[in-house]
Amino acid sequence: MARLGSSLKVLELGCGPGRDSRELADAGHTVRSVDHSPVAIGRARASTSNPPNLTFELGDAETALRRTATGSLDVVYAHALYMMLSGPEMERLLLEVRRGLRSGGFHLFAVRAVTDPHAGQGTEIDRDVYVGGPHVTPVRYYRAETVDAMAQRGFQLVDAEYVPELHLYFVCHRRP
């Protein structure tokens, strides 16, 4: 994030207990974080290390983005959330991410790759989406071409790094 600038307006989607949010806020960014889990948001809010430039909201990612003014964000950040979304949900979310970002803003996210040992376990209910086995809810795994296709929703691909030992893609899109 340091390469993107300082004092950025960041929206984290699927923040969980807020670890990444706190790091971003501690780096000087204004961070608004959302998660659908009341337990996660409760833990995030209860932390005694929350800086004043950090807020936590209970809600879903799409609604949080819809409540965001057009072009008001420098960064939208999501770590692993996109694995839990259906194809139509992901399409709608990408449109909202693009709308919420200012021109030149960044969409940063991480997703699990199809090389993950859990991919392929359970029942495949859509391409690279599995339920059952270790998956209580449907989980989507990503291929390089799937990650590349996401940029075609109105973004420029800045970087997509696959880290084999983590089975993760770390992706940076820029809104033109």
CATH number of 19's domain: 3.40.50.150
Classify residue 76: in a domain, yes or no: yes
Give SS3 for 97: helix
**Which residue type is seen at 34?**
V
Overall number of domains in the chain: 1
DSSP letter assigned to residue 69:
P
How do residues 58-83 score in pLDDT, each as one tens digit?
999 999 999 999 999 999 999 999 99
How do residues 124-153 score in pLDDT, each as one tens digit?
999 999 999 899 999 999 999 999 999 999
Angle at 83 between CA 27 and CA 170, to 5 degrees: 45
Domain region containing 34 = 2-113+142-174
Classify residue 119: in a domain, yes or no: no
Classify residue 137: in a domain, yes or no: no
Full-model pTM: 0.94
